[in-house]
Structure 1
Amino acid sequence: MFDIIRHKTASSKADLLSGLTVALALVPEAVAFAFVAGVEPMVGLYAAFIMGLITALIGGRPGMISGATGAMAVVMVALVAEHGVAYLFAAVVLAGILQVSFGLLKLGKFIRIVPYPVMIGFVNGLAIVIFLAQLGQFKVPDINGVLTWLPQDQLALMIGLVALTMGIIHFLPKLTTAIPSSLVAIVTVTLMVVFLELDTRTVLDFLKSMSGDENATIAGSLPSFSIPAVAFNLETLYIILPYSLILAAVGLIESLLTLTVIDEMTNTRGKGNKECIGQGVGNITSGFFGAMGGCAMIGQSMININSGGRGRLSGVTAALTLLGFILFGSAMIEMIPLAALVGVMFMVVLGTFEWASFKVMRKVPKHDAFVIVLVTVVTVFTDLAFAVFVGVIVSALVFAWEHAKHINVEITEDANGWKVYKLNGPLFFGSAADFLELFHNNTDPDDVIVDFQNSRVCDHSALDAIDTLAERYVASGKKLHLRHLSNDCKRLLHKAGDLVEVNLIEDPHYKIGDDKLD
């Protein structure tokens, strides 16, 4: 997966230049997500700076970029519309506290339960989402506020500049990798537009169209500390808690999955629990400094990695450069053509989408191919967290169904004439019903042995099935002997009573997951 990497080693120079490139691409994204959330552009820009800086310094994945994201913005919009931006800041603080708690409890490891097909669907879905988001740059609002395509001549020019940007990014590394090709492409296209006076939309035009304010600008001051202006009582907690829970979950899922993708790209290992803490501290700080918070951004992270950014310096550079743009360089950034930034993001799409999945889906089991397509589609039409949840649930159900079919018995007779059922395969909720159908208590002899040596009793449903089987044989006036059960199983079996044969030498010592043992 992801063979588009052009830089294999880390260096301070690469980190500095890649950080600068990322900062240029962060501006329109932060502004756009701020409008999605229903807040001022500066709220999104501050979030990109704060999240980017803090997660770069203390997060668990060097080289990964965080900032304001669309996945969290769509959750925020309802809270802002109904209760105001102050409640948003309070909700972001609470979400951050939940994320820090998640990290301190070392729960980041649970990202490992996400199956590989879900990961492929995740990156494919995000690639499509990024692509569709860029199409909005080719449209402008008409007099009624409805987005329409640019006039034909402007549309053709923008497409040409996008193609030029993509061409530079693709071919320049064949000549030199001393400077990130994305940065060269942005600077080249910007200079061409300025000196040739080409009529194409810029970052400033985008900001004006989004805000409807002809005096709009990204110029601003340093973010200032402020406690969210909300009442600190149970009523406020009742309002913000549902949003905070969703924001914390969405932020961690997107961040940890992005961390996993970057791990695979760089053949390194990030620290999930540390990243949870970094994301949480970033969101807590955002809430107290008038920012909308955020999480990891796979698009900007891909730009950073492909531009050579590997260390924490790349993320710190991106954040501080963005702050520099806000404080001192707004005029310079506002003149950048949107076409250049769109071209960069289109290259991100090409690098993010797992093209090999088309070939893989013809070779993997049909249910895995279905999960890939399902997660991709759900990501595009709903949101990332829900898509991953659906993918994991479907994968788990398929796993249970497949393993439920593997249970069977070998029937023999011992020297005493007792009938022996030697069980093979896992016994759990999915196979419990089939397990009971393997036995014939009405026709079996007076003494029957069930041997669990080649089986694994997995959950309480399995225990209940064994209890039920024992009850059936007792009701028929027969003796059921259960061999090779773990000590945990023996303690939890009620109806079997003293029918369980104790064999301390041969019986397994595995633990069974059951609430009664906690």
Structure 2
Amino acid sequence: MKTEFTPKLFTLLKEGITKKQLSNDILSGIIVGIVALPLAIAFAIASGVSPEKGLITAVIAGITISLLSGSRVQIGGPTGAFIIIIYGIVQEHGIGGLTIATFMAGFIIIGFGLARMGNYLKFIPYPLIVGFTSGIAVIIFSSQIKDFFGLNMGEVPVDFIDKWETYTSNFLKVNWQAFSIAIATVIISLKFSKISPKIPGSIVAIVISTVVVYYFNLPVDTIESRFGEIPNSISLPEIPNINFAIIQQLIQPAIAIALLGSIESLLSAVVADGMTGGRHRSNMELIAQGTANIFSGLFGGIPATGAIARTATNIKNGGRTPIAGIIHAIVLLLIMLLFAPVAKLIPLSCLAGILVVVAWHMGEWHHFFSLLKSNRLDVIVLLTTFFLTVFFDLILAIEIGMILSSFIFMKRMSEETTFENTAHLLKYNEIYKEKLFEEEIPGIPKGILMYEINGPLFFGASQKFQEVITDLNFKTEVLVLRMRNVPFIDASGMNRLKEICLQFKENKTQIIISGANRKVKKELLKADAYSLIGKHNITDNIKIAIERARYLLKENNKS
């Protein structure tokens, strides 16, 4: 495909961008830039590096990703997902090792894109994604306890259990002023949108807490007290000194950065597609992310990827082209150049409060607990990935999760593959009066569209299923999904089905499911799809489904 390796910005510039959209993108970029400021600083500090490295990454990687992205709306920069990887690399290899690993990871991600691996990385099973994402959220929360409570203690251990043992032994040293600031930050960050949806609560919390700490000279740690001045300039790019021995030493951390960066960026792009109805170019997106990490390494930054929360903020504020992402990076650059002397006064307990809110949103706990009610095998993948992420290593968790998912898939497929006598099949069809599709349904009323799904709706087929259904470029009042030949549906397939139902519901299109077997109906019930689709819209056979569709059409015409 000719456009596969063409950045979305180039395509949009060729087609033309309206003045109204341009103004929307500029406004959205300014808002996202303000939202990204505290996050860039907080992610850097939580990762064990100085705060300006987060800002450098947000500026350099942010503008590179927007220029080359395969998505219209992707916002790139440092993210919470990288905290545990970066912290571990810095502890073992130092800042210099992190810079080289980031630089190397960029080339690996570009290699993924050129090898067209973007077509496959997005098929990672949903329980696995929720498992490691929730695990990362727990680790981010754990890493912020020291600053959240203002504990007067030494370095925080890397190991999860050691970390909490150290916290427990130091919990009598709580700084109540720091704790109050952290609690206030959490409340403001979560609730301020009710007062003003346009102004980020995190920025309000930072301004208030910084003014209070400075004016009353409160005894709490600030960026300045721990890290000194924040540089208000970006140094010239410098090619890292790399040789074969260094590559051998850092290849594993580089691969870890590349894998997580690729998964996170494509996940963000898929979420953005669901919100905008667009479709990103997976392989071009990987090339953009790889290039961004190379440049981030050259300027002394940290790993970067697509940021789901900032991308969603961009979409909600009207951003629809990469210009919004470019403006967001420029805004951060201006803030860094002009307001660095003020930013150094931000209390660390405020940043800890912001990261606790990030961890809460990142965990998506409603999805986590919903999956615990699903198929037992999906629960095994979810919990295995979650606990391995928290107690051992993120990349190990992803590797084991993928292996488990593969074995579970093979088990399911082997159970569902049967060999039956054709005479028996004919007899079965006579009993249930099954006929050829054309004979069975001689005509479908206008306003009704029908799709038949044949085969299991599992994680490998769910993406294609969503693409086929969302490719419908015409409106229909009722969509009938015929599922008589779907032997099972896993958590990924269920998640895609629910996304499609919500998307069509917004467009006032009703969905009817026909002929689902007992096993599929059980999964629909567990996933609360009955309340989403409507109990009467889940029918036993195609005859009832068409009758139900005709009834809905009549009701629509009355209204």
Q: Check whether TM > 0.5.
A: yes
Q: Tell me if the contact between 1:50 and 1:319 (Cα under 8 Å) persists in the aligned partners.
A: yes
- Going from structure 1 to structure 2, the CA distance change for 1:327 and 1:266 (only over 3 Å counts) comes to same
Q: Which runs of 5+ in 1 are unaligned?
A: 1-8, 414-424, 427-453, 455-518
1:20 matched to which residue of 2? Answer: 34
Letter of the structure 2 residue corresponding to residue 49 of structure 1 = V
Letter of the structure 2 residue corresponding to residue 272 of structure 1 = S
Distance in 1, matches of 2:99 and 2:137, equals: 29
1:512 matched to which residue of 2? Answer: none
Match of 1:80 among 84, 89, 93: 93
Question: Mapping of 1:243-282 within 5 angstroms?
Answer: 243-282=253-292
- Going from structure 1 to structure 2, the CA distance change for 1:18 and 1:182 (only over 3 Å counts) comes to farther
Distance in 1, matches of 2:393 and 2:24, equals: 33
Whether 1:223 and 2:235 are equivalent positions in the alignment is yes
Instruction: Kindly state the Cα deviation for residue 198 of structure 1 after the two structures are TM-superposed.
Output: 6.7
Distance in 2, matches of 1:167 and 1:151, equals: 24
Letter of the structure 2 residue corresponding to residue 219 of structure 1 = P
- Going from structure 1 to structure 2, the CA distance change for 1:321 and 1:332 (only over 3 Å counts) comes to farther
Match of 2:201 among 172, 182, 194: 182
Question: Mapping of 1:470-489 within 5 angstroms?
Answer: none
Distance in 2, matches of 1:79 and 1:358, equals: 32
Q: Tell me if the contact between 1:219 and 1:328 (Cα under 8 Å) persists in the aligned partners.
A: no
Whether 1:117 and 2:147 are equivalent positions in the alignment is no
Q: Which runs of 5+ in 2 are unaligned?
A: 1-22, 157-166, 424-454, 457-484, 486-559
Whether 1:399 and 2:414 are equivalent positions in the alignment is no
Match of 2:188 among 156, 165, 185: 165
2:225 matched to which residue of 1? Answer: 208
Instruction: Kindly state the Cα deviation for residue 319 of structure 1 after the two structures are TM-superposed.
Output: 2.8
Task: Compare the two structures and name the one with the higher helix fraction.
Answer: 2
Match of 2:339 among 329, 334, 337: 329
Match of 1:154 among 164, 172, 177: 177
Distance in 1, matches of 2:183 and 2:64, equals: 38
Question: Taking every aligned residue pair, what percent have the same amino acid on both sides?
Answer: 26
Distance in 1, matches of 2:46 and 2:369, equals: 35
Q: Tell me if the contact between 1:361 and 1:369 (Cα under 8 Å) persists in the aligned partners.
A: yes
Q: Tell me if the contact between 2:42 and 2:355 (Cα under 8 Å) persists in the aligned partners.
A: no
**DSSP-derived class of the 2:47 partner:** helix
TM-score after normalising by structure 2 = 0.60
Instruction: Kindly state the Cα deviation for residue 221 of structure 1 after the two structures are TM-superposed.
Output: 2.4
Distance in 2, matches of 1:44 and 1:222, equals: 12
TM-score after normalising by structure 1 = 0.64
Distance in 1, matches of 2:122 and 2:141, equals: 28
2:47 matched to which residue of 1? Answer: 33
Letter of the structure 2 residue corresponding to residue 117 of structure 1 = P
Match of 1:366 among 366, 376, 393: 376
Q: Tell me if the contact between 1:99 and 1:280 (Cα under 8 Å) persists in the aligned partners.
A: yes
Match of 2:145 among 135, 144, 165: 135
Question: Mapping of 1:414-429 within 5 angstroms?
Answer: none
1:105 matched to which residue of 2? Answer: 115
Distance in 1, matches of 2:98 and 2:59, equals: 18
The Cα offsets for residues 440-479 of structure 1, whole Å up to 9 and x where unpaired, read as xxxxxxxxxxxxxx9xxxxxxxxxxxxxxxxxxxxxxxxx
Q: What's the C-alpha RMSD, in Å, of the aligned pairs?
A: 3.7
- Going from structure 1 to structure 2, the CA distance change for 1:189 and 1:353 (only over 3 Å counts) comes to same
Letter of the structure 1 residue corresponding to residue 33 of structure 2 = G
Letter of the structure 1 residue corresponding to residue 234 of structure 2 = L
Task: State the structure with more CA Rg.
Answer: 1
Q: Tell me if the contact between 1:251 and 1:294 (Cα under 8 Å) persists in the aligned partners.
A: yes
Distance in 2, matches of 1:166 and 1:183, equals: 5
Q: Tell me if the contact between 2:183 and 2:353 (Cα under 8 Å) persists in the aligned partners.
A: no
Whether 1:375 and 2:389 are equivalent positions in the alignment is no
2:57 matched to which residue of 1? Answer: 47
Give the number of equivalent residue pairs: 389
Q: Tell me if the contact between 1:99 and 1:276 (Cα under 8 Å) persists in the aligned partners.
A: yes
Q: Tell me if the contact between 1:33 and 1:44 (Cα under 8 Å) persists in the aligned partners.
A: no
Distance in 2, matches of 1:109 and 1:121, equals: 22
**DSSP-derived class of the 1:113 partner:** coil
Distance in 1, matches of 2:273 and 2:140, equals: 21
Select between 329-338 and 155-164 the one with higher mean Cα deviation: 155-164
Instruction: Kindly state the Cα deviation for residue 110 of structure 1 after the two structures are TM-superposed.
Output: 0.9
2:77 matched to which residue of 1? Answer: 66
**DSSP-derived class of the 1:356 partner:** helix
Match of 1:353 among 354, 363, 373: 363
Select between 150-159 and 366-375 the one with higher mean Cα deviation: 150-159
Distance in 2, matches of 1:197 and 1:140, equals: 17
1:193 matched to which residue of 2? Answer: 212
